[in-house]
Amino acid sequence: MSQSFRDRLQLDEQAGAWFDQSRRYMLIRPEALMGVFRRLPRLERALALEALEASIFEQGSDSARAYQAMGGTGEMLLDVIAASAPQLGWGRWQFERSPDRLILNVTASPFAMGFGPADMPVCAAITGMTRAVATLVFGRPAHAVETICAAMGSPTCRFEARPLETQA
């Protein structure tokens, strides 16, 4: 990676906006964001978290493609993503890769910490980004799921992604 995420950020003070190339970023406290989901009834919360996952997949795919252009494919892309995540405040990321599976372990997820104790996984944003990264790594659409969440009492969050079966 030629330049860290933090070093790539540019502040347009006149507009009050942070940019990494054309991608705009903002700072928000995790408790403020996740408080929206915490206040929803369980069914609506699940739907809202699914929508967040889909939105992050869509927007995160753009970021992941930009990271891929900086760092290549496969392990190099995973290294760039893992190095960028803590600079974004998304916790510490560690990937494990096999030919048909990508595992992501996250320590200090801001989404779990911001939500507080939960009876369901709440790190939908990381699930969306995991799916985006896995789609690039596998070179075809992938599915991702949070299998363990710190909001449910685990010391870390764990995500698993697999490529979708292709239709013959």
Query: Other CB atoms closer than 10 Å to residue 75's CB: what's the count?
Result: 12
**Domain layout of the chain by residue ranges:** 30-163
pTM score over 0.85: yes
Burial 102-135 (b: 16+ CB within 10 A, else e): bebebeebbbbbbbeebeebbbbbbbbbbbbbbb
pLDDT in tens, 24-48: 888 899 999 999 999 999 999 999 9
For 30-163, CATH gives 3.30.1380.20
**pLDDT tens digit string along 101-150?**
999 999 999 999 999 999 999 999 999 999 999 999 999 999 999 999 99
